[in-house]
Amino acid sequence: MELDFGFVSICLSEHNCSPAGSVTVTAAAKLADAEARIRKFKKVALKNLLNTKRIMFFNKAHSIGLYRFASQLIPLATHEYTDGWQWWEDTEIEKDLQGIGKLIAENGFKVSTHPPQVCVFNGEQDGSFEWVRRYLRYHNRLLDCMGLDAASKIVFHVGKGYENPKEGLKRAVDNFHSLPEHQRSRIILENDDTTYTAAQVLQLCLEIGVPMVLDIHHHWCRNDGENIEELLPQIFATWRGQKRPPKIHVSTPKNERKFRDHAEYIDTERVAPLIKKALSIGPFDIMIEAKAKDKALLKFRSELAGYLL
């Protein structure tokens, strides 16, 4: 198969292997002073990085080529509580990040990050778009500390439709061009499940020159009747010139009542026809977004092989 697979953040097959340990703002506020907060943040960050290393070895052992980092490897890295703490210059954290980067380079892993929903790409410059700026600085710094180039991507949704979705798309274009070039080179956009369709996001990506990730589950939730198979060649073409192949996000609905929610595992029969069609275009990557994480990936990969014979 000309496919590579990946999963998001936590490895459920390994005991106590979450790289997403966090410190809430409320908990941080209860600590005695800034030094106590930094000690707590660093302790959690080092545990997150250790578990990320463990996941890299798990991925190597199971021939898993993709991985999406936990968004909060460094707790509250975008919050004012970490202002003044240059975590990227901390000797222990820097060593761990470099070690993770070495594992990625040695094994040819393709990695990404995905900032939280608060990051609205078409938000107002003096409002919600500030979260995009903060997370771009933070995630770019993480990837830079690992020694990774622009092939390591940062995934965003376009954002809200506001009263005029077209105006929202125009704002997304303006916001994109307001960012530094070294940040723009890592950005990729995906269609969402409530506002912007795959066709709309494709046109935006073509306008600003960034790759598009097709999220098939989101397409089922939000579309205007487009034939997604007809859009696939154009979506994949947005990746031309990149150091990695196109990528799609795969999950299936929990049930008909909770259609937007991700199921524990992938309904392989439902997804297989699209995968088969996409393979006729060329090789690509699949990021599994099912709740069962790596377990869903291993099951889906095994089942899919039978459909593609």
pLDDT tens per residue across span 17-64: 999 999 999 999 999 899 999 999 999 999 999 999 999 999 999 999
- For residue 254 the two structure tokens come to 């929990």
pLDDT tens per residue across span 166-190: 889 999 999 999 999 999 999 999 9
Residue 309 pLDDT > 90: no
Answer yes or no: are the C-beta atoms of 275 and 304 closer than 8 Å: yes
Residue 240 pLDDT > 70: yes
Closest Cα to residue 216, out of 139, 159, 286?
Answer: 286
* Average confidence (pLDDT) over 206-226: 97
Query: For residue 120, what pLDDT is reported?
Result: 86
Element (H, E) at 157: strand 153-157
- For residue 256 the two structure tokens come to 């008909």
Considering only residues 120 and 216, tell me which one the structure prediction assigns the higher pLDDT. Answer: 216
Residue 207 pLDDT > 60: yes
pLDDT tens per residue across span 291-308: 999 999 999 999 999 998
Query: For residue 1, what pLDDT is reported?
Result: 57
Q: What amino acid occupies position 105?
A: A
Residue 110 pLDDT > 70: yes
pTM for the model stands at: 0.95
Residue 162 pLDDT > 70: no
Query: For residue 60, what pLDDT is reported?
Result: 98
Considering only residues 248 and 1, tell me which one the structure prediction assigns the higher pLDDT. Answer: 248
Answer yes or no: are the C-beta atoms of 92 and 134 closer than 8 Å: no
Output phi, psi for 138, to 5 deg: -65, -50
Query: What does DSSP assign to residue 226?
Result: -
